[in-house]
Amino acid sequence: MSELSVSHLLGIKYLNKKDISLIFETADHFKEVINRSIKKVPTLRDITIANIFFENSTRTKLSFELAEKRLSADVVNFSAGQSSVKKGETLIDTVNNILSMKVDMVVMRHPNPGAGIFLSQHVNASIVNAGDGAHEHPTQALLDSFSIREKLGDVGGKNVVIVGDILHSRVALSNIFALKLQGANVKVCGPKTLIPKYIESLGVGVETNLRKALEWCDVANMLRVQNERMDISYFPSTREYTQQFGVNKELLNSLDKEIVIMHPGPINRGVEITSDVADSDQSIILHQVENGVAVRMAVLYLLASKIK
C-alpha cells in the first residue's frame, strides 16, 4: 500500500505530487462512503483525535469533526476561549496535557504562523495544520484542487486566478503551492496593497485588472477581505473594492466563456461576489464543502496509518 512521505500535514510545501495524488485517490473512496446510506467506516476505531482551535472556525472545525466521526475515531474538542490558555498556560503545556490523556493526533488552528511546525518538534503525536495565521491552510488547498479535478477532469494545465486579499490569506499561499505542484498556471488579482511583494518568486503572475484575469482563467477562486487581520486601511472603502474586484452575474455573462467560481468561505455576499454568482450553476462552493469532509477523511486516514 502507498503511504504519505510525511508524518504530519503542516503545509502543502512539505508534500510532493505523489502525496497529493494519493490523498485524492483516497478521498475518491471516502466521497463514495459519505454518499452511502451508512456513512460510517470503522477505519480509525482505536485512534483518538484532539481538535485544538485557538481561533474561531465554523466550516473547518465542523468538517474535521465530521470526518473524524465518519472514520469512527474518538474525538476530543478543545476551544482556547474556555481553557487554561486564558490563565497563561503555554501551547506546549496545553498540548502535552491533552496528549497525556493518550491522544494520537492533533488537529490545530492557531493565529501564529509556524505553530504547527513548532508543535511537531516538541510533542509525540501526528499534527494536522488547520490554519496557522496568514501562513498555510493545507486541507483547504487540497479540497480546492480536488474540487477543480472533479469539475474539470484535471488540475494540470488549467488557468486558475486567486482574487482578493492575497496578503493576509493562508488559503492563497497553500493554493499556490498545491496548484503549481500539480502543473496549473496561477495568477493572483487584487489591489496592489493586498498583493505581497515576493509573490512572483513563487512562479505566479500578477494581474490588477479583474476583467483581464477572468478572461484568462478557467477557475476563479474568490477570497474575502480579512478585516480581522488588518491594522491599517488597505483600500479606500468596501464599496470601491467591490466596484474594482467584486464579481457579479453581469460581469460573468459578459465573458466569452463559462468559468468556474470557487470560494473557501465565509462569503461576504455583495463584496467579493454577489448572491446570484454564489448561487449560480458556475459556482462549486457547496461542492467544496462536501469535498472537504472526504479530503479530510483521506488525510486523517493516511496519517493515522503511519502512527506506530
CA–CA dist 90, 11 (Å, integer): 23
Judge whether 170 is annotated as a binding position. Answer: yes
The C-alpha atoms of residue 133 and residue 110 are separated, in whole angstroms, by 6
274 marked as binding residue: no
Looking at residue 283, what DSSP letter applies?
B
The answer on whether 59 is annotated among ligand-binding residues is yes
Residue 98 DSSP class: H
Check whether 140 is labelled as a binding-site residue.
yes
C-alpha grid cell for residue 20? 497529493
Q: Is 224 annotated as a binding residue?
A: yes
**58 labeled part of a ligand binding site:** no
User: In three state form, how does the secondary structure of 159-195 look?
Assistant: EEEEECCCCCCHHHHHHHHHHHHCCCEEEEECCHHHC
* Close Cβ partners of 138 (under 8 Å, ≥ 6 residues apart): 9, 10, 11, 12, 15, 129, 174, 178
Residue 7's alpha-carbon distances to 28, 34, 304, in angstroms, are 21, 25, 9
Is 109 assigned to a binding site? yes
| 129, 10 Cβ separation under 8 angstroms | yes
**Is 242 among the annotated ligand-binding positions?**
no
Q: Enumerate the known binding-site residues.
A: 59-60, 87, 109, 137, 140, 170, 224, 265-266
Q: Which residues are annotated as a binding site for carbamoyl phosphate?
A: 59-60, 109, 137, 140, 265-266
Q: Which residues are annotated as a binding site for L-aspartate?
A: 87, 170, 224
